[in-house]
């Protein structure tokens, strides 16, 4: 059975798609067969970040409507043969998504893949709730500012009450905090919330901090997931996050030790 | 002198505290005809079980909805069906007075709660039809939340509400009784929502957007004088919220 990961936030522009692309590529590079699905129907972006926009023939809505098979719609990444992308439809809207349809697609993917990364749209409406409904793990991407933190808190509430796991009374979705666009200089000046502030408000496991970095914009514009830029701080942060996520199934203390390691490595503390 | 020496070996009586399990008839409707019919149906299912059974009549649901009912009429009906009523509880002041005039015992709802914890050890009789006074009402009344209450979530407790985690900004917690929050309280907390002015709010870190007891409220701006990260209790005195350190 595949592990379904939803990358979500509530607020827009915090780095969900960047994170989805990086995490999916990171998992695939470690040899796990991974699919990444764009749930932002109507505002398709993931294919651009992944650099496969010219190879889109069929999309998620086509598969849901039985107009194409899953194999026809999945795009194999050129850099890593373990990674597949299922793009969103640009000509439709989120009402084209149904719980049954999404469930069927995820079930079929589960047979073949180890990890399925769902890139959630912003907001708490249909696209976002469907992206997280079937999830096993949730990566909550938050920027260190109050409105993003509050939106994430709202999203966490929805995750714990309106997911399939919650409705069936199963073990709840595992939630992880990814703090993106973090700038230690500005935290020091008091212009930005610190990691401790955000963690205190959200009371959530910190999976990693992604520093504000020029390499993210460069990577997006060139259609290369930032994790492939091994020289960049953001790329290294995502590599660490993937490593921590994979080790997470074992002991919890590994996170804390690694967290400190990341801090001193990135911020020279 | 002779009286004193003789009375010592033969003590005639002794007072002792004891707890017992009694079926409770929880009334939800004040229509006597309906009560009569439904009671008859219940008794018909297990006539031997209910025969001469002691019964406590509980009016709390009716009182909460301001529904009126005459105590003597209810007692007559339950006696007709073979019950032996041993008292009422949760009634209005008028109903309590009426019962006392008839030399009929009035039980205190609050006293019942402390008894319940003791009774827990005893095995309860299987009374599927008539609501039993212990296990059920206890789980209905109080609520324990161990996970964070997130922005946009609402929690309602029919009795006391205990939260051992954070209550986020934009969350709303409500209780008919007291509220205890052992994490940070950043959302709204409303105690005594049905008008219980004796209910209180206890929290270890007061950063709430709004606090209210029995409808009297204060906003974040009014609370700014109180330093966060300090355990406080909030009570209602003379229609004003009083915040004190614990």
According to the model, what pLDDT value does residue B64 have? 82
In percent, how much of chain B has pLDDT > 70? Answer: 83
Q: Do B166 and A158 touch (CB under 8 A)?
A: no
Q: Do A161 and B153 touch (CB under 8 A)?
A: yes
According to the model, what pLDDT value does residue A260 have? 45
Q: Do A153 and B150 touch (CB under 8 A)?
A: yes
CA atoms within 13 A on the CB side of A242: 25
According to the model, what pLDDT value does residue B203 have? 94
According to the model, what pLDDT value does residue A215 have? 92
According to the model, what pLDDT value does residue A238 have? 93
Task: Identify the residue with better confidence: A248 or B212.
Answer: B212
According to the model, what pLDDT value does residue B134 have? 44
- Residue A254, pLDDT above cutoff 60: no
- Name the pLDDT band for A39 (thresholds 50, 70, 90): very high
Q: Is the pTM of this model over 0.80?
A: no
Please tell me if residue A157 touches chain B, with a CB cutoff of 8 Å.
Answer: yes
SS3 assignment, position B73: helix
Q: Give the best residue of A147, A148, A153 to mutate against chain B (max B CB count within 10 A).
A: A153
Residues of A in contact with B170 (CB under 8 A): 150, 153-154
**Cα(A82)–Cα(A27) distance, rounded to whole angstroms?**
9
State the smallest CA–CA distance between residue B122 and chain A in angstroms: 31
According to the model, what pLDDT value does residue B213 have? 96
- Residue B38, pLDDT above cutoff 80: yes
Q: What's chain B's average pLDDT?
A: 81
Interface of chain B toward chain A, CB-CB under 8 angstroms = 147-153, 165-166, 168-171, 183-184, 186
**Cα(B183)–Cα(B167) distance, rounded to whole angstroms?**
7
- Residue B202, pLDDT above cutoff 80: yes
- Mean pLDDT score, A51-68: 94
- Residue A234, pLDDT above cutoff 80: yes
For residue B167, how many other CB atoms are within 10 A of its CB? 30
- Residue B109, pLDDT above cutoff 70: no
- Name the pLDDT band for A74 (thresholds 50, 70, 90): very high
Question: DSSP letter string over A109-144?
Answer: HHHH-SEEEEEPPSSSSHHHHHHHHT-SEEEEEE-S
Task: Identify the residue with better confidence: A64 or A260.
Answer: A64
According to the model, what pLDDT value does residue B20 have? 74
Q: Do A200 and B184 touch (CB under 8 A)?
A: yes
> The tokens 């509050």 sit on which residue?
A150
Query: Picking from A122-126, B7-11, B126-130, which range would have the lowest pLDDT averaged per residue?
Result: B126-130
* Residue (of A175, A84, A169) closest to A136 by Cα position: A175
DSSP H or E stretch at residue A19: helix A16-29
According to the model, what pLDDT value does residue A54 have? 92
Closest partner CB to B152 (pick from A157, A201, A202): A157
**Cα(B92)–Cα(B112) distance, rounded to whole angstroms?**
17
- Residue A45, pLDDT above cutoff 90: yes
Phi/psi region, residue B82 (left: phi>0; alpha: psi -120 to 50; beta: rest), is left
According to the model, what pLDDT value does residue A264 have? 56
- Mean pLDDT score, B213-221: 91
pLDDT tens-digit map of A170-228: 999 999 999 999 888 888 888 889 888 999 999 998 899 998 889 999 999 999 999 99
Please check whether residue B201 is in contact with residue B189, taking contact to mean a CB–CB distance below 8 angstroms. Answer: yes
- Name the pLDDT band for B165 (thresholds 50, 70, 90): very high
According to the model, what pLDDT value does residue A256 have? 36
**Cα(B43)–Cα(B63) distance, rounded to whole angstroms?**
25
- Mean pLDDT score, A85-89: 95
Please tell me if residue A132 touches chain B, with a CB cutoff of 8 Å.
Answer: no
For residue A114, how many other CB atoms are within 10 A of its CB? 17
**Cα(B140)–Cα(B60) distance, rounded to whole angstroms?**
14
**Cα(A210)–Cα(A15) distance, rounded to whole angstroms?**
10
> The tokens 């505002």 sit on which residue?
A43
Q: Do B148 and A203 touch (CB under 8 A)?
A: yes
pLDDT tens-digit map of B66-99: 888 888 888 888 888 888 888 888 888 888 888 8
What's the complex ipTM?
0.75
**Cα(A105)–Cα(A133) distance, rounded to whole angstroms?**
13
Please check whether residue A77 is in contact with residue A85, taking contact to mean a CB–CB distance below 8 angstroms. Answer: yes
Q: Give the best residue of B146, B149, B155, B168 to mutate against chain A (max A CB count within 10 A).
A: B168
Query: Picking from B8-17, B65-74, B95-104, B144-153, which range would have the lowest pLDDT averaged per residue?
Result: B8-17
- Residue B153, pLDDT above cutoff 70: yes
Q: Do B151 and A200 touch (CB under 8 A)?
A: no
- Name the pLDDT band for B65 (thresholds 50, 70, 90): confident
According to the model, what pLDDT value does residue B133 have? 44
According to the model, what pLDDT value does residue A251 have? 36
């Amino acid at each position: 059975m595949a592990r379904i990961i939803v990358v979500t936030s509530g607020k827009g522009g915090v780095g969900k798609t960047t994170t989805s692309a990086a995490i999916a590529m990171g998992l695939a590079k470690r040899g796990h067969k991974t699919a990444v699905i764009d749930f932002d129907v109507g505002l398709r972006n993931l294919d651009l970040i992944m650099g496969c926009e010219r190879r889109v023939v069929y999309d998620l809505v086509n598969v849901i409507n039985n107009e194409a098979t899953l194999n026809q719609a999945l795009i194999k990444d050129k850099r890593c043969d373990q990674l597949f992308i299922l793009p969103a439809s640009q000509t439709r809207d989120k009402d084209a998504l149904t719980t049954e349809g999404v469930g069927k697609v995820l079930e079929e993917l589960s047979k073949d893949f180890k990890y399925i990364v769902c890139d959630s749209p912003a907001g708490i409406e249909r696209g976002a709730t469907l992206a997280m409904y079937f999830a096993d793990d949730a990566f909550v991407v938050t920027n260190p500012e109050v409105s993003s933190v509050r939106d994430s808190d709202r999203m966490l509430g929805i995750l714990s009450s309106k997911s399939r796991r919650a409705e069936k009374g199963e073990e709840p979705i595992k939630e992880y905090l990814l703090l993106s666009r973090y700038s230690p200089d500005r935290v020091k000046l008091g212009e930005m919330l610190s990691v401790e502030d955000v963690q205190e408000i959200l009371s959530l496991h910190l999976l990693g901090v992604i520093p504000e970095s020029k390499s993210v914009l460069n990577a997006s514009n060139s259609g290369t997931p930032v994790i492939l830029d091994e020289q960049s701080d953001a790329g290294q942060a995502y590599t660490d996050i993937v490593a921590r996520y994979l080790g997470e199934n074992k002991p919890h203390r590994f996170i804390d030790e690694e967290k400190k390691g990341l801090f001193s490595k990135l911020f020279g503390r | 002198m002779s009286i004193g020496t003789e009375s010592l070996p033969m003590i005639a009586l002794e007072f002792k505290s004891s707890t017992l399990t009694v079926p409770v008839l929880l009334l939800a409707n004040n229509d006597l005809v309906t009560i009569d019919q439904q009671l008859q149906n219940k008794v018909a299912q297990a006539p031997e079980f209910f025969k001469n059974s002691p019964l406590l009549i509980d009016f709390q649901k009716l009182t909460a909805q301001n529904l009126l009912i005459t105590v003597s009429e209810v007692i007559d009906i339950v006696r007709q069906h073979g019950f032996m009523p041993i008292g009422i509880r949760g009634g209005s002041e008028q109903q309590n007075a009426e019962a006392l005039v008839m030399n009929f015992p009035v039980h205190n709802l609050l006293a019942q709660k402390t008894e319940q914890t003791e009774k827990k050890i005893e095995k309860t009789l299987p009374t599927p039809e008539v609501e039993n006074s212990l296990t059920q009402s206890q789980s209905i009344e109080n609520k324990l939340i161990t996970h964070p209450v997130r922005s946009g979530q609402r929690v309602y407790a029919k009795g006391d509400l205990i939260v051992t985690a954070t209550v986020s900004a934009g969350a709303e917690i409500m209780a008919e009784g007291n509220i205890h929050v052992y994490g940070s309280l950043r959302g709204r907390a409303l105690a005594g929502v049905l008008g219980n002015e004796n209910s209180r709010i206890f929290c270890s870190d007061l950063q709430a957007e709004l606090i209210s007891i029995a409808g009297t409220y204060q906003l974040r701006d009014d609370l700014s004088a109180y330093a966060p990260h300090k355990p406080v209790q909030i009570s209602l005195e003379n229609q004003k919220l009083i915040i004190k350190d614990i």
